[in-house]
Amino acid sequence: MTHTSPSNAPHTLARKIRACRVHAFDSPATLEDLSLPSPEEGEVAVAIHAGALNFADTLMCTGKYQDTPKPPFTLGLELAGQITALGPNVTGLSRGQRVAVFAGQGGLASGGNFPTSRCIPIPDGLGYAEAAALQIAYGTSHLALSYKARLQAGERLVVTGAAGGVGLTAVEIGKLMGAEVIAIARGDEKLAIAQKAGADHLIDASAPDIRERIKSLGGADVVYDAVGEPLFEACFRATNPDGRILLIGFAGGNLPNLKPNHMLVKNITAIGFYWGAYLKFNPAPLRASLATLFDWAAEGKIKPHISHRLPLEQFEEGLDLLRTRKATGKVILEP
């Protein structure tokens, strides 16, 4: 790591980093050594202590994610670390400061240069792994439930994939917001994790009567769907009039079968949601949401569930945990 100094003046940075690189979508990602250049204007250099894996990383490897960069690029959407150098005219941040970064790429490495606009100071008492894990998973759920779905206390929230990286945060945040939470996940172990996060009711994803189970509990006011079909159909048919359905992701591999005529009759709203896009066209609600989440984390109201912590060299094992849906919560790679 580059030694820090008390001055905030930019200086030449010359060090090697290790990075998980994608060179072609028909070839596996590789771990390789790179030279880290000096940060440019509006950037800081960060020594990465933790990179959080997301399902999007598995899609980026094959070019199937909506925001996949052009190869070659370094995997890793979110990270946490310590600033080691400042680009020209950077203010408001300092060397040695701990920051979390939603980078979009570059997080699966031992270091990198990132825009200051994407750096969030890490509060005291919050570890690097937890800070890295917090942004996308918690940010997605909080902004989707509070800003888009307008979830109200006392409403009934159904969460599919409730033990996954984002699903588990939806359970936790929904409960914090005062909702009655129905968690859908596969198997007793995953359901127990969702219950520990605050779920009021548990439904196994392999059950043949999911629609009836939800309706027997009073139906869904809000559905947070990170899986797609076949769960979407059951949840949609169990949604109450004037309900809202959040389309978060399609981890099950199949797109939802939307039925506009049924939506019309029941006044159901389907809401597409992509968290990262707000940084480009409307960052204010995203930043406000993250500020709330970091306050909650510092106060101990939320705690990211990390199921695996692996060295950077085991990145392929980490990706496979997401591909096979064996992870519960977040997978963290630590250089």
- Model confidence at 5: pLDDT above 80: no
- Model confidence at 13: pLDDT above 60: no
Distance CA 95, CA 85 (A): 6
Q: Is residue 142 part of a domain?
A: yes
pTM (predicted TM-score):
0.79
- Tens-digit pLDDT profile for residues 27-80: 999 999 999 999 999 999 999 999 999 988 999 999 998 889 999 999 999 999
Exposure of 60 in the CB half-sphere (CA atoms within 13 A): 27
Closest CA to 186 of 105, 251, 248: 251
- Judge if 253 and 225 occupy the same domain: yes
- Judge if 252 and 153 occupy the same domain: yes
- Judge if 181 and 106 occupy the same domain: no
Q: Is residue 116 part of a domain?
A: yes
Q: Is residue 36 part of a domain?
A: yes
User: Greatest CA span in the chain, whole angstroms?
Assistant: 65
Q: Is residue 262 part of a domain?
A: yes
Q: Is residue 295 part of a domain?
A: no
Q: Is residue 309 part of a domain?
A: yes
Q: Is residue 174 part of a domain?
A: yes
Q: Please give the pLDDT value at position 14.
A: 60
- Tens-digit pLDDT profile for residues 205-219: 999 999 999 999 999
- Tens-digit pLDDT profile for residues 123-143: 888 899 999 999 998 999 999
8 A C-beta contact, residue 100 and residue 78: yes
- Model confidence at 8: pLDDT above 60: no
Q: Which of 276, 297, 319 is the last residue of a domain?
A: 276
CATH of the domain at 68: 3.90.180.10
Domain that residue 34 falls in: 15-122+305-334
- Report the number of distinct structural domains present in the chain: 2
More confident residue, 258 or 178: 178
DSSP strand E in the chain: where? 15-22, 30-36, 43-53, 73-74, 78-86, 98-102, 111-115, 119-121, 156-160, 180-185, 201-204, 220-225, 239-247, 269-272, 306-311, 330-334
- Judge if 104 and 48 occupy the same domain: yes
Residue 274 burial (CB count, 10 A) = 13
- Judge if 146 and 221 occupy the same domain: yes
Average pLDDT for the chain = 91
CATH of the domain at 238: 3.40.50.720
Q: Please give the pLDDT value at position 11.
A: 47
Q: Is residue 283 part of a domain?
A: no
- Model confidence at 3: pLDDT above 90: no
- Judge if 146 and 267 occupy the same domain: yes
pLDDT band at 97 (very low <50, low <70, confident <90, very high): very high
- Judge if 206 and 95 occupy the same domain: no
